[in-house]
Amino acid sequence: MNRSSRFIFSALCFGFAFLYLPILMLILLSFNDSSIATVWGGFSLRWYSALLNNEQIINAALLSLKIAAVSATFATILGTMAGLALTQMGRYRGRLIFTGLIAAPLVMPEVITGLSLLLLFVSLQELIGWPLSRGASTITIAHITFSMAYVAVIVQSRLASMDQSMEEAAMDLGGRPMQVAFDITLPLIAPSMLSGWLLAFTLSLDDLVIASFTSGAGASTLPMVIFSKIKLGVTPDINALATLIIGTVSIGIIIASWIMFRQSKRNEVG
Amino acid sequence: MKDLSGPKATRYSQPLGDKLWRNFVIGLPYLWLFLFFLVPFGIVFKISLADPIVAQPPFTALFDFGANTKNWLHATFDNYLFLTEDNLYWISYFNSIKIAGISTLLCLLLGYPMAYGIARSTPTVRNVLLMLVILPFWTSFLLRVYAWMGLLGKNGVVNGLLAYTGLIDAPLELLYTNGAVYLGIVYTYIPFMILPLYATLEKMDLDLQDAAADLGAKPWQVFVDTTLPLSMPGIIAGSMLVFIPALGEFVIPALLGGIDSLMIGRTLYDEFFVNRDWPLASAVATVLLFILVIPIMLFQRSQQEKK
């Protein structure tokens, strides 16, 4: 190895150690019987059983899953439409503003998005009496808004790289645009819609700031409960919760990318 | 055949159903983002011009068309004036820009060689490494920040290791410091830097580098004169993807930072939730948005150039 490739190699090793050691440490600590991080009290599952008996956390997790599923579904529908509108619809008035509206939520600091949505909900309530109270429904609307932009970007990049000859052929054969979209375009972009849904789901599940702003007194999502617990310091049952969440997500992602990898291999051969 | 390249919609005279479909596909997401993303900014600006009052909602109305009011428009710049008078806000804005800027630079310094290494490895290794970069992005942001609390705390793993090896006698103050905030931002945002960098480096034609090397350029010269300028779009995209959200970051300074790690996202959050001064929080948000206009436009341009 020459000098520059040795440098690249050590940067890779350092970088991945930096990314993964904290998570591995967290997983290890979740099995520690002692509640002090520096003392190994032996292997134990007691923080996991404490977790399962914590009703507040279980309820918050169920609420978060519900909000994530609903908002991801709507975000996928709206985001796919936005992706189509950006690539397949030619020119129309306000297209430039639309492009900006899609890209801006991706980088907007959460405190601004959260505050502005809350003020919108408050103003709407004054004007038209809706929403009556803030909670799961307002959080869901907020999550749809920022995650549909992510779905739109994923769908858009797939559409842009796609060969459009099939759609053109269908149109030339007299297919109507809506028919062509449902029969040809959507099946072709289904995998990216699925990744968009999964991304929207995880983003919603993970969001603390926007949910804190748009929620009312009653509804606490899982990140909100976690945050109020860890603000005061490390607690071992959160280690266990983190291990469960990170473990589930990682296994899901690894399986998904393995399937996609095999499919792309098959497409190359076939 | 020329008209095939033109906008598809004009190729046929459109029956009503096609037009409805087209308007529906464009109109619905447009309307949604207009109502739930653009309009709210207008409301934030409107409320930033109001006075705080003890009521529900806690601010005065901008327009008042009541019979016994002299001025129908009630707007004040007091909130903005207050921002310039109180040092807290200057420090918060300045600190945020400093912390976000330095963190972006650190992300670039660590992310560039990583992206380069990934782009130059064999396809199978590349897929695995890419997945390892993306994987943390899918796992909880909040919990990854939390992981550092366990590492850096007084009774944390790092202090434990240092004490065990005899390097220190008393635990170091690692958590609740500015250093911990830098660490947290670099840790959570580095995938956003690596991915766009990888995308430009992977597409790059290596002929130029080979030619430069054949003509006798030293490796660092090849890098500075060809690779680095060619990867500029990736550098800008990655830097903006780190800098912009880091500037308004709330969770990381709230969990890892000390009392003096003021960042504007945290100041805004406290102004809103602790002091319950909605107009002032709106003014803080408006100013932050103005600071972000230039980086956001830079990011937009780098995205447009990609196409």
Q: How many residues does chain A have?
A: 270
- The domain total for chain A is 1
pLDDT for position A60? 94
The shortest C-alpha distance from B94 to chain A (Å) reads 16
> Does any domain span residue B46?
no
The residues pairing with B59 across neighbouring beta strands, listed in sequence order, are: B52
> Does any domain span residue B61?
no
CATH number of the domain that B279 lies in? 1.10.3720.10
pLDDT at B12 over 70: no
> Does any domain span residue A256?
no
Which residue bears the tokens 């300045």?
B94
Question: Is B250 in contact with A94 (Cβ distance < 8 A)?
Answer: no
A225 lies within 8 A of chain B by CB:
no
pLDDT for position A1? 59
For the ranges A6-10, A230-234, A249-253, the one whose mean pLDDT is highest: A6-10
Question: Is A108 in contact with B244 (Cβ distance < 8 A)?
Answer: yes
A88 lies within 8 A of chain B by CB:
yes
Could you count the other beta carbons within 10 Å of the beta carbon of residue B255? 21
pLDDT for position A18? 94
| CA torsion through residues B223, B227, B233, B235, sign | negative
Per the structure block, which two tokens stand in for B164?
A: 């065990």
Domain limits at A66?
Answer: 56-239
> Does any domain span residue A138?
yes
Nearest to B194 by CA among B125, B299, B111, B303: B111
- For residue B133, with 0-12 CB atoms within 10 Å meaning exposed, 13-18 middle and 19 or more buried, which class applies? buried
Per the structure block, which two tokens stand in for A31?
A: 């099995």
Nearest to A261 by CA among B194, B134, B136, B197: B134
Residue A210 to residue A146: CA distance in whole angstroms: 10
> Does any domain span residue B172?
yes
Q: What is the mean pLDDT of residues A203-213?
A: 93
> Does any domain span residue A220?
yes
Give pLDDT tens digits for B181-205: 999 999 999 999 999 999 999 888 7
Residue A166 to residue A186: CA distance in whole angstroms: 12
The shortest C-alpha distance from B159 to chain A (Å) reads 9
Give pLDDT tens digits for A58-97: 999 999 999 999 999 999 999 999 999 988 888 888 888 8
A166 lies within 8 A of chain B by CB:
no
B300 lies within 8 A of chain A by CB:
yes
pLDDT band at B61 (very low <50, low <70, confident <90, very high): confident
Nearest to A168 by CA among A155, A177, A157, A159: A177
Residues from chain B contacting residue A148 (CB–CB below 8 Å):
29, 32-33
Residue B10: C-alpha distances to residues A136, B121, B181, B236 (Å): 43, 46, 54, 37
Q: What is the mean pLDDT of residues B108-131?
A: 92
With H, G, I as helix, E, B as strand and everything else as coil, classify residue B61.
coil
Residues from chain B contacting residue A116 (CB–CB below 8 Å):
40-41, 43-44, 285
pLDDT for position A270? 46
B147 lies within 8 A of chain A by CB:
yes
**φ/ψ (deg, to 5) at B52:** -75, 140
> Does any domain span residue A10?
no
The residues pairing with B63 across neighbouring beta strands, listed in sequence order, are: B73
Residues from chain B contacting residue A177 (CB–CB below 8 Å):
18, 21-22
The shortest C-alpha distance from B85 to chain A (Å) reads 22
pLDDT at A234 over 90: no
pLDDT for position A118? 93
CATH number of the domain that A185 lies in? 1.10.3720.10
Give pLDDT tens digits for B275-306: 888 899 999 999 999 988 888 888 877 777 65
Residues from chain A contacting residue B288 (CB–CB below 8 Å):
109, 111-112
Q: How many residues does chain B have?
A: 307
> Does any domain span residue A264?
no
Pick A38's closest partner by Cβ from B17, B147, B155: B155
With H, G, I as helix, E, B as strand and everything else as coil, classify residue B63.
strand
pLDDT at A10 over 90: yes
> Does any domain span residue B149?
yes
> Does any domain span residue B281?
yes
pLDDT band at A57 (very low <50, low <70, confident <90, very high): very high
Q: What is the mean pLDDT of residues A142-150?
A: 95
Terminal C-alpha separation, chain A: 38
Residues from chain A contacting residue B134 (CB–CB below 8 Å):
253
Residue B219 to residue A184: CA distance in whole angstroms: 49
Pick B142's closest partner by Cβ from A100, A208, A234: A208
| CA torsion through residues A203, A206, A207, A211, sign | positive
User: ∠A77-A79-A80 over CA atoms, to 5°?
Assistant: 65
> Does any domain span residue B10?
no
Domain limits at B241?
Answer: 81-306
Q: What is the mean pLDDT of residues B247-259?
A: 92
Show which of residues 39-68 on chain A sit within 8 Å of chain B, judged by CB atoms.
none
pLDDT for position B285? 93
User: ∠A2-A4-A7 over CA atoms, to 5°?
Assistant: 110
The shortest C-alpha distance from A159 to chain B (Å) reads 12
A115 lies within 8 A of chain B by CB:
yes
Q: What is the mean pLDDT of residues B64-87?
A: 76
Residues from chain A contacting residue B17 (CB–CB below 8 Å):
176, 178
A187 lies within 8 A of chain B by CB:
no
Per the structure block, which two tokens stand in for A249?
A: 């997500």
pLDDT for position B1? 41
Which amino acid, one-letter code, is at B215? L
pLDDT for position B9? 47
> Does any domain span residue A247?
no
A109 lies within 8 A of chain B by CB:
yes
Mean per-residue pLDDT of chain A: 88
pLDDT at B150 over 50: yes
Residue A242 to residue A51: CA distance in whole angstroms: 11
Residue B170 to residue B162: CA distance in whole angstroms: 10
Question: Is B26 in contact with A92 (Cβ distance < 8 A)?
Answer: yes
Give pLDDT tens digits for B22-57: 899 999 999 999 999 999 999 999 999 988 877 777
pLDDT for position B6? 45
Return the DSSP state at B249: -
With H, G, I as helix, E, B as strand and everything else as coil, classify residue A245.
helix
Q: Which residues, 6+ apart, have CB-to-CB distance to A203 below 8 Å?
A: A143, A146, A147, A150
- The domain total for chain B is 1
Question: Is A81 in contact with B240 (Cβ distance < 8 A)?
Answer: no
pLDDT for position B66? 59
Q: What is the mean pLDDT of residues B81-90?
A: 89
Q: Which residues, 6+ apart, have CB-to-CB distance to B42 below 8 Å?
A: none
| CA torsion through residues A16, A22, A25, A27, sign | negative
pLDDT at A177 over 60: yes
Tell me which long-range contacts A92-99 makes (C-beta under 8 A, separation of at least 24): A92/B26, A94/B30, A98/B26, A98/B30, A98/B33, A99/B300
Q: What is the mean pLDDT of residues B94-114?
A: 95
Give pLDDT tens digits for B156-181: 888 888 888 888 888 888 899 999 99
pLDDT band at B206 (very low <50, low <70, confident <90, very high): confident
ipTM (interface predicted TM) = 0.89
Question: Is A115 in contact with B282 (Cβ distance < 8 A)?
Answer: yes
Give pLDDT tens digits for A96-137: 888 888 888 888 889 999 999 999 999 998 888 888 888 899
Show which of residues 171-200 on chain B sit within 8 Å of chain A, judged by CB atoms.
187, 190
